């Protein structure tokens, strides 16, 4: 998915938010915004938005001297989601279709996102997941068919907090004897999940955890193939099934020439338009 002019105000708003999380000094905030705007003057609109975000957040970290501006909100998101996990697990176990419920709750977890200006109430979204008609039956049948045939699953993760919602679906896959690789970021970027976050959520007990961009000193909020590790690229090409979480990964992987199941909540009008869904809709979409 390419970058649009409409993305520019979002990058600037996100830069200001991160700057304010990093420092109370207004002169630092101004310096961040001026430097980001100078960078955006020459940005290419041919690449996906996560490629621009990668550089914008590098500028923020360089100026503020803070490696992880979102650490506090990431930790809070993980604590909140961890408390919710037993309730969510009970919903899965008691559901008529535990796998479908796990899929819907994994999608619901995608609302925990500081990379977008549209944010939703997690409790309201959990209630929405109880409705039967809220994801495509056709897409879910395709998901089931692919899963039945798959021995290996590559699961590309998105945000902190969300990792506990992912865990519900990963456990369903694990119980079906699937070999799972869970893909995270090598470095802090917005509130995206890292290896440490995934291990703290207990993902290492049911899946192999890898950084999809291992070897880089800065990450993007979406796996970009040009910066992807050889291990990730090998698994992307050889694993039987690929599941991608969140808007950032949709933006960076939607043009990849292989079948990928995208799970996300459409929060950005541009993503919603590209994926042909309404904002706030739970989305299970297969491409490739």
pLDDT in tens, 205-214: 999 999 999 9
In Å, the largest CA–CA distance within the chain is: 57
Neighbours of 66 (CB within 10 A): 17
Phi and psi at 153, nearest 5°, equal: -130, 125
Phi and psi at 159, nearest 5°, equal: -110, 160
Stated pTM of the model: 0.92
Compute the distance between CA of residue 191 and CA of residue 244 in angstroms, rounded to an integer.
Answer: 17
DSSP 204: G
Give the residues across from 284 on adjacent strands: 263
pLDDT in tens, 20-78: 999 899 999 999 999 999 999 998 898 899 999 999 999 999 999 999 989 988 998 89
- Going by pLDDT thresholds of 50, 70 and 90, the confidence category of residue 117 is very low
Tokens of 268: 């950005």
Please tell me which of 44-48, 131-135, 144-148, 264-268 the model is most confident about, judged by mean pLDDT. Answer: 144-148
Compute the distance between CA of residue 85 and CA of residue 102 in angstroms, rounded to an integer.
Answer: 12
Contact 39, 63 (CB under 8 A): no
3-state secondary structure of 41: coil
Go through the chain and tell me how many residues it has. 288
pLDDT in tens, 180-192: 999 999 999 999 9
Show the CA angle centred on residue 88, arms to residues 83 and 93, nearest 5°: 135
């Amino acid at each position: 998915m390419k970058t649009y002019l409409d993305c520019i105000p979002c990058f600037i708003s996100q830069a200001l938010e991160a700057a304010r999380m990093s420092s109370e000094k207004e002169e630092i905030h101004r310096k961040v915004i001026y430097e980001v705007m100078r960078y955006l003057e020459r940005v290419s609109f041919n690449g996906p938005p996560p490629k621009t975000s990668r550089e914008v957040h590098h500028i923020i970290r360089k100026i503020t001297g803070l490696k992880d501006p979102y650490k506090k909100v990431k930790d809070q998101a993980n604590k909140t989601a961890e408390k919710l996990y037993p309730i969510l697990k009970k919903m899965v176990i008691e559901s008529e279709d535990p796998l479908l419920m796990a899929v819907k709750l994994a999608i619901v977890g995608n609302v925990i996102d500081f990379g977008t200006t549209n944010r939703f109430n997690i409790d309201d979204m959990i209630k929405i997941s109880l409705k039967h008609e809220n994801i495509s039956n056709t897409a879910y049948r395709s998901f089931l068919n692919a899963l039945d045939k798959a021995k290996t699953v590559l699961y590309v993760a998105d945000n902190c907090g969300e990792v506990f919602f992912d865990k519900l679906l990963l456990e369903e896959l694990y119980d079906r004897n699937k070999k799972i690789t869970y893909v995270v970021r090598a470095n802090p970027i917005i509130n995206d999940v890292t290896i440490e976050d995934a291990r703290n959520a207990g993902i290492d007990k049911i899946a192999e955890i890898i950084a999809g961009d291992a070897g880089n000193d800065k990450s993007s909020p979406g796996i970009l193939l040009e910066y992807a590790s050889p291990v990730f690229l090998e698994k992307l090409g050889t694993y039987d099934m690929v599941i991608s979480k969140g808007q950032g990964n949709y933006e960076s992987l939607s043009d990849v020439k292989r079948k990928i199941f995208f799970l996300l909540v459409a929060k950005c009008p541009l993503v919603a338009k590209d994926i042909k869904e309404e904002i706030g809709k739970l989305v299970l979409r297969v491409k490739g």
